[in-house]
């Protein structure tokens, strides 16, 4: 028999999990504005998502709205933050202290969303022993030892593309279970390993293309 | 009559534009490995995308493969880089020099993908006149003047969520045509404005959820 908690956790589709933070952001904003209630129709209207999708998404979260009144905003914020894992502290290692890796070490905002980078790893010997934003950098060779000491199972991958696959394999065999992949390389991993691809540069391609298209239209008219 | 170039630029679907950088990354890797030819089947197999999708995606790009031999890798890399806009230099302003904004100013990797951040703006008076990674920070009040001087039309949005909408409106009225939105807030913009949402924290929610689910499964077995 499947218990309720398990069912919730296995069943939440990825698009829902990606939209819930938008609802959270909007609810936080309205809470700050002094509002106390929020309907799914209001959420839908303000963030341009169909209201049936909002209602469906929120049905995965254990919160009940009242007819015609909507959700209690404070409760909605608290429950969403917990549901999304933003109130827990998840510790992570970062692999590849190059340009993007270094930049992420500077991003203290990650902690607000439940992620704490506790160490960076790189193959460059001159980086070992240094620190960025008070986060220590170690040589990649020391990863297994530090993983065993800490039990950390989340890895942020910011290595060059030609190292993405080999470093992934190394860190998975050393105990990493979830990889947040910032490289544009599609790593291949065993089925029980979680991968989230956040190739921010791919978004640039979309932006450049659309901007060109719009400006060409303007030039023609 | 619609000319060919225009047709390509208006017709490329967003999922295609997001996948093309993966193919580019893989082609760059194979090029570095000394390979000279690459088929769409090989690309498909190595990055776990259906080969019919790869072929379809590449059909938007003006490159022809030869039957059974595939694409010339060097040509594929050159054409993809140009098609995606990574070889042009697109200048951008960044709005909101907080944690994530500051981190992005440190990311010199963006330049490799055609984006150069030339200035940051913030409402904090104490930040005006400082610089991060040699990029000058100005007060937001100076934006319009600097926009008119430079003609820069890309804005990176890294302000707090409660400022996302108002800052967007301000910068759009001041000449910004494309917004790379890193906030989890869904901004509302006129139809002719390009928005790319890169809410990296939303990916954390997916990762945390999946990691929990897998570990609960392991605990049960």
| Helical H segments across chain A, by residue range | 4-11, 14-32, 40-47, 51-59, 73-83, 99-106, 109-112, 143-150, 161-173, 200-220
Which of the residues B1, B61, B206, B212 would you substitute to probe the A interface, choosing the one with the greatest number of A C-beta atoms within 10 Å?
A: B206
Name the residue among B17, B103, B153 with its Cβ closest to that of A106. B103
With an 8 Å Cβ cutoff, is A44 touching chain B?
Answer: no
Q: Is B218 exposed, middle or buried (0-12, 13-18, 19+ CB in 10 A)?
A: exposed
- List of residues 6+ apart from B145 with CB closer than 8 A: none
With an 8 Å Cβ cutoff, is B191 touching chain A?
Answer: no
B197-201 contact pairs (CB < 8 A, 24+): B198/A200, B198/A203, B199/A18, B199/A21, B199/A22, B200/A198, B200/A200, B201/A21, B201/A86, B201/A109, B201/A110, B201/A113
Distance from CA of A57 to the nearest CA of B (A): 14
User: Quick check: A108 pLDDT over 90?
Assistant: no
Distance from CA of A160 to the nearest CA of B (A): 10
User: Quick check: B19 pLDDT over 70?
Assistant: yes
Q: Where are the beta strands (DSSP E) in chain B?
A: 37-38, 71-72, 90-95, 115-122, 131-132, 135-139, 154-157, 178-181, 194-197
- Phi and psi at residue A18, in whole multiples of 5°? -85, -25
**Would you place residue A8 in the very low, low, confident or very high pLDDT band (cuts 50, 70, 90)?**
very low
**Would you place residue A218 in the very low, low, confident or very high pLDDT band (cuts 50, 70, 90)?**
confident
User: Quick check: A201 pLDDT over 50?
Assistant: yes
**Strand duo A178-181 + A154-157: pairing:** parallel
Q: Write down the pLDDT at residue A6.
A: 39
A18-39, pLDDT tens digit by residue?
899 999 999 999 999 999 999 8
Is the CB of A186 less than 8 angstroms away from the CB of B29?
no
With an 8 Å Cβ cutoff, is B18 touching chain A?
Answer: yes
Q: Which of B27, B25, B20 is nearest to B58 (CA)?
A: B20
Is the CB of A185 less than 8 angstroms away from the CB of B48?
no
Q: Write down the pLDDT at residue B3.
A: 39
With an 8 Å Cβ cutoff, is A175 touching chain B?
Answer: no
Q: Write down the pLDDT at residue B67.
A: 66
With an 8 Å Cβ cutoff, is B2 touching chain A?
Answer: no
Who has greater pLDDT, A221 or A176? A176
With an 8 Å Cβ cutoff, is B42 touching chain A?
Answer: no
Q: Write down the pLDDT at residue A67.
A: 66
User: Quick check: A170 pLDDT over 80?
Assistant: yes
B100 interaction partners in chain A (CB closer than 8 Å): 107, 109
Q: Write down the pLDDT at residue A221.
A: 64
Q: What is the ipTM of this complex?
A: 0.85
Helix/strand/coil for B61: coil
Which of the residues A207, A212, A216 would you substitute to probe the B interface, choosing the one with the greatest number of B C-beta atoms within 10 Å?
A: A207
B91-140, pLDDT tens digit by residue?
999 999 998 899 899 888 898 899 999 999 999 999 999 999 999 999 99
User: Quick check: B22 pLDDT over 80?
Assistant: yes
Distance from CA of B3 to the nearest CA of A (A): 12
Who has greater pLDDT, B91 or B161? B91
B140-160, pLDDT tens digit by residue?
999 999 999 999 999 999 999
pTM of the model: 0.86
CA distance A128 to A117: 16
Q: Write down the pLDDT at residue B221.
A: 64
B168-200, pLDDT tens digit by residue?
999 999 999 999 999 988 999 998 899 999 888
B219 → chain A, closest CA residue: A6
Is the CB of A86 less than 8 angstroms away from the CB of B162?
no
The arithmetic mean of pLDDT across residues A2-26, rounded, is 72
B51-105, pLDDT tens digit by residue?
899 989 999 998 877 766 789 999 999 999 999 999 989 999 999 999 889 989 9
Who has greater pLDDT, A6 or B38? B38
Who has greater pLDDT, B88 or A7? B88
Is the CB of B17 less than 8 angstroms away from the CB of A206?
yes
User: Quick check: B5 pLDDT over 80?
Assistant: no
User: Quick check: A10 pLDDT over 90?
Assistant: no
- Decide if A203 contacts B198 (C-beta within 8 A): yes
Q: Write down the pLDDT at residue A70.
A: 85
Give the A:B interface size as CB pairs under 8 Å: 225
Domains and CATH numbers, chain A: 14-84 (1.10.10.10), 90-202 (3.40.50.720)
| CA-to-CA separations, B115 to A78, A147, B91, B92, B217, in angstroms, rounded | 37, 36, 6, 7, 43
The arithmetic mean of pLDDT across residues A80-109, rounded, is 92
């Amino acid at each position: 028999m499947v218990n309720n908690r398990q069912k919730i956790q296995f069943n939440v589709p990825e698009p829902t999990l990606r939209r819930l933070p938008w609802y959270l952001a909007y609810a936080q904003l309205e809470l700050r504005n002094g509002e106390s209630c929020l309907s799914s129709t209001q959420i839908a209207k303000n963030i341009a998502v169909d209201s049936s999708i909002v209602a469906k998404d929120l049905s995965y979260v254990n919160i009940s709205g009242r007819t015609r009144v909507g959700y209690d905003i404070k409760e909605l914020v608290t429950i969403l933050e917990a549901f999304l894992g933003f109130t827990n502290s998840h510790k992570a290692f970062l692999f590849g202290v190059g340009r993007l890796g270094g930049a992420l070490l500077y991003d203290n905002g990650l902690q607000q969303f439940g992620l704490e980078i506790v160490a960076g790893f790189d193959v460059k010997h001159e980086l070992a022993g240094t620190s960025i934003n008070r986060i220590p950098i170690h040589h990649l060779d020391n990863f297994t030892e530090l993983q065993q000491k800490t039990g950390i199972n989340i890895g942020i991958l910011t290595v060059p593309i030609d190292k993405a696959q080999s470093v992934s394999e190394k860190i998975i065999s050393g105990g990493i279970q979830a990889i947040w992949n910032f490289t544009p390389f599609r790593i291949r991993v065993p089925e029980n390993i979680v991968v989230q691809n956040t190739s921010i540069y791919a978004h640039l391609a979309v932006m450049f293309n659309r901007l060109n298209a719009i400006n060409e239209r303007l030039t023609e008219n």
